[in-house]
Structure 1
Amino acid sequence: MPPTDASTDASTDAGTARATRPAPGAAPGPVSLADPGSDPGAGTDSEDTLDLRLPDELIALFAGDSGDGGDNEARDGTAGGDDLLDRVGGWGPTATPAGVFHLVPARTERDLPLIARWMNDPAVAAFWELAGSESVVEEHLRRQIDGDGRSVPCLGTLDGTPMSYWEIYRADLDPLARHYPARPHDTGIHLLIGGVADRGHGLGSTLLRAVADHVLEKRPSCARVVAEPDLRNTPSVSAFLSAGFRFSAEVDLPDKRAALMIRDRALRDLS
């Protein structure tokens, strides 16, 4: 069962939501073009429907060629090849008001104990549902690391110190796309803040804004960054709003009713 979300800033919660994903290499389901409802937070880029054709990357997946030649380094973006997320591992650091932040693709042999410890924090476990032995988290990571490149798990380091866990993923190639009018290259983010001391002080909002804008900078083909926090989790939704996301719609996912949050390239200088 997939994790639900928790606020990036609330002292009692940690992390953000993700929708259920297929097994690595499996083709995603059909894209829904139904209007999910009114958009109370939309601005000039508020039209969230359009006619879609299958992205070239998805066609390549069906053909068994994701552009990485089967190399794990290419899949997580640390080596060459036209991977699905423009080589996250090569994006480099970005300056934030909190310090220098860097997304580093996760490695099980290096990062598993730390991520597993975070996942066993009761505040995190209640939402991500990955508590238990390290093998539980290892399987979760390996599905992505050994997958087709549509999701890259990362450690987030602040001034060189690992302090958060992120998943950067192609929302338009994810089962989430069945539940909202996805656009080609929509990029999703999930986040949990690892340390209790880092929660509840606005750091989550600061990093969400920085990472969303970093995605837009490094992925020229991406016009929107999306997220789907649980609608009941007011602190999480507030964190996204503070980070410059707009509330687009309520969407029914298999495990929850979510708030579809969107950070638009066209509107990022206005929010």
Structure 2
Amino acid sequence: MSLTDTGAEALPVPVAPDCPDPRGGADPGASALLWDDEETLNLRLPAEFGALRAELPGQVSPRATDLLDGVHTWGPTATPVGVFELVPVNIDRDLPLVQGWMNDPTVAAFWGLAGPQDRTERHLRAQLDGDGRSVPCLGMLDGTALSYWEIYRADLDPLARLYPARPHDTGIHLLLGEAAHRGRGLGSALLAAVAELIMERRSACARVVAEPDMRNTPSVTAFLNAGFRCSAEVDLPGKRAALMIRDRIRRELS
């Protein structure tokens, strides 16, 4: 399978082989960590690219006040593992918790944010003080913060240079904060729930995408178990990533 989805924008993209199926011998419930290298958020789209995309039908201007349809208003949703809600990060309240998670050795291996609080704070503020294309959130399950999420506009992210992005493609990054919550299928359940939530709250979004590191077998497995398909492999700063896509049409037919 290659990066040539029907109806995609005619952008030059690399053609990659099918992603290897990581599930052979892996625990299907081992969702473990879902994450992304922070460099993806620090890259900047060329001005001419942004101007071109702003002219596409149905595209939102990068200067719009809300590029993600009010994540803070999405509210709770029922899941097989409990009531889940995305709550945008408040640095004064949440920085110690997120910084603690980032210093977990397994998390640090892929997020690269281990260290003092100011390192995590810079990562969070870059999103909170940015143009709104990425929103950092805590994932609350039955009222308890268990996970950290970044909901972002994939079509306005540097990732869009590497695949035929469509207007309003929405991306997700996720980590489960405590080791005790990993490897139990929780990641797959939450990924499926958040993909559903995005489709419900963002009517213009036809696809949810992600780019977990190919080396993290449990992560790729979790996405597959959550209804994503592996479209291709792409090179991002610091990693070879599996481009995972969950389509609205596939959701509606399921």
TM-score normalised to structure 2 length: 0.81
- Give, in whole Å, the separation in 2 of the partners of 1:108 and 1:264: 33
How many positions carry a matched residue from both structures?
225
Question: What SS is found at the alignment partner of 2:131?
Answer: coil
In the alignment, structure 1 residue 60 sits paired with structure 2 residue 61: yes
Counterpart pick for 2:239 among 256, 265, 270: 256
State the Cα distance separating 1:60 from its structure 2 match.
Answer: 3.5
CA offsets 1:198-233 (integer angstroms, 9 cap, x no match): 110000000000001100000000000000111222
Residue 173 of structure 2: aligned partner: 190
Note if 1:149 corresponds to 2:146.
no
**1:28, 1:174 within 8 Å by CA — same for their partners in 2?**
no
Q: Provide, for residues 78-120 of structure 1, a one-character-per-residue CA deviation record: whole Å limited to 9, x for no partner.
A: xxxxx10000000000000000000000010000000000000
Q: 2:87–2:139: 8 Å Cα contact kept in structure 1?
A: yes
Contact 2:170 2:208 in 1 (8 A): yes
Match of 2:15 in 1: none
2:207 maps to amino acid: R
The SS at the match of 1:197 is helix
Give CA deviations for 1:48-69 in whole Å, capped at 9, x if unaligned. xxx97744797733xxxx233x
Q: Deviations over 1:173-222 (max 9, x none)?
A: 00011111111100000000011111100000000000011000000000
In structure 1, runs of 5+ residues without a counterpart are: 1-6, 32-50, 69-82
Q: Is the CA contact (8 Å cut-off) linking 1:248 and 1:259 kept in structure 2? A: yes
Q: Given the alignment of the two structures, is residue 232 of structure 1 paired with residue 215 of structure 2, yes or no?
A: yes
Two-structure CA RMSD over aligned residues (Å):
2.5
Cα separation, 2, equivalents of 1:189 and 1:226: 7
Report Cα offsets for 1:132-152 as digits up to 9, x if no partner.
111100000000001000000
Kindly indicate whether residue 18 of structure 2 is the aligned counterpart of residue 21 of structure 1: no
Deviation at 1:268, TM superposition (A): 1.1
Letter of the 2:33 partner, please give it.
A
- Tell me how far 1:14 sits from its aligned partner: 2.2
* Equivalent residue number for residue 172 of structure 1: 155
Amino acid at match of 2:64: G
2 CA distance for matches of 1:175 and 1:30? 13
CA contact (8 A) 1:29 1:178 kept: no
The sequence identity of aligned pairs, in percent, is: 64
**2:233 touches 2:243 (CA, 8 Å); kept in 1?**
yes
Gaps of 5+ in 2: 1-26
Alignment partner, residue 41 of structure 1: none
Aligned residue type for 1:60? S
TM-score (norm 1): 0.77
- For residues 190 and 158 of structure 1, what CA distance do their matches in structure 2 show? 17
